[in-house]
Amino acid sequence: MRIATWNINGINARLPAVLTWLDEAKPDIVGLQEIKCLDENFPREEFESRGYNLETHGQKSWNGVALLSKIPFDEVHRGLAGDEEDLQSRLIEGVFSTEDGGIVRVCNIYLPNGNPVDTEKFPYKLGWMDRLYNFVEERLALEEPFVLMGDFNLIPTGYDCHDPKAWWGDALFRPESLEKWRRIMNLGMTDALRATTDEQAFTFWDFQAGAWRRNAGIRIDHLLLSPQAADRLKAVKVHKDTRGWDKPSDHVPVEGDFALVGLSQKAA
DNA sequence: ATGCCTTAAAGGTTAAGA
């Protein structure tokens, strides 16, 4: 089973690229972030005609997440618990049956950026990460294959960054953010990319200042795995080539291959 | 360089992203 995450920075602007990539990579489950549209405006037909089931958690103009799956959804959950006043659409989770009689749980997140740090955006990020900690703690207690993936807006180490000194202090790479990240990881989650390679890999290159040309990237899109998911991990791939496509997103897809087979996959 | 590009939604510009 191939499970992938991609911040597409607008579904309308990115539709051709996303469809081209789906046809190439043939993922079974995909989490998209920054769909930037209302649920009713998502171009469903393009995905359903390719055999994907689709669930969205959108909002007007900004944010918004979606899950595509060749495997029918057993359950869908929208939103992160813990703050009634948080109206931003940043989390969607699906539960899917597998051939072995078990399930795989896939949660797709768009973690708040948090910049500028002297505004309310930064405490919002930290509060969101505290709520995510509680969520992950609950999920791990289920002892299931669980994949928490998405745009975390977090650089785990200086090695995950072209220029750590330039980024240090940014909401993506500073002590308060890293402390929250490590608390979550220390619950027992595995960073899928780091479990399979020591090579430097980036997932985001800014549109500006020739960041792509200079390979001035950072790694902020992650797949984090419960022990039961990590045990089934076979390979991880970063689809760096998509950043060089026409009308690219500033992020690229990250996919994990797992020794799992979905139950009654919808025919393509 | 606290936005050099890109997106969305408006509306002839502004806010947001990382």
Per-residue pLDDT, A268: 45
Helix (H), strand (E) at residue A53: strand A53-57
Each domain of chain A, given as residue ranges in start order, spans 2-258
Q: Is A74 a catalytic residue?
A: no
Asked whether residue A247, judged by its CB, lies under 7 Å from any atom of the DNA or RNA strand B, the reply is yes
pLDDT per residue as tens digits for the range A89-133: 999 999 999 999 999 999 999 999 999 999 999 999 999 999 999
pLDDT per residue as tens digits for the range A25-76: 999 999 999 999 999 999 999 999 999 999 999 999 999 999 999 999 999 9
Q: Which class is domain A2-258?
A: alpha beta
pLDDT per residue as tens digits for the range A188-199: 999 999 999 999
Q: What is the pTM of this model?
A: 0.97
Q: Could you please report the per-residue DSSP string of A212-259?
A: TTTT-EE--EEEEE-HHHHTTEEEEEE-GGGGGSSS--SB--EEEEES
Mean pLDDT of A159-164: 97
The number of beta carbons lying within 10 Å of the beta carbon of residue A149 is 26
Residue A222 marked ligand-binding: no
Token pair 């026409």 is found at A246
Chain A 114-173, CB < 7 Å to strand B: 115-116, 121, 151, 153, 170-172
Chain A 196-215, CB < 7 Å to strand B: 204, 206-210
Q: Tell me which residue of A121, A108, A102 sits closest to A232, measured CA to CA.
A: A102
Q: Strands A146-151 and A103-110: what pairing?
A: parallel
The contacts of residue A192 (CB under 8 Å, 6+ apart) are A222, A223, A224, A225, A230, A233, A236, A256
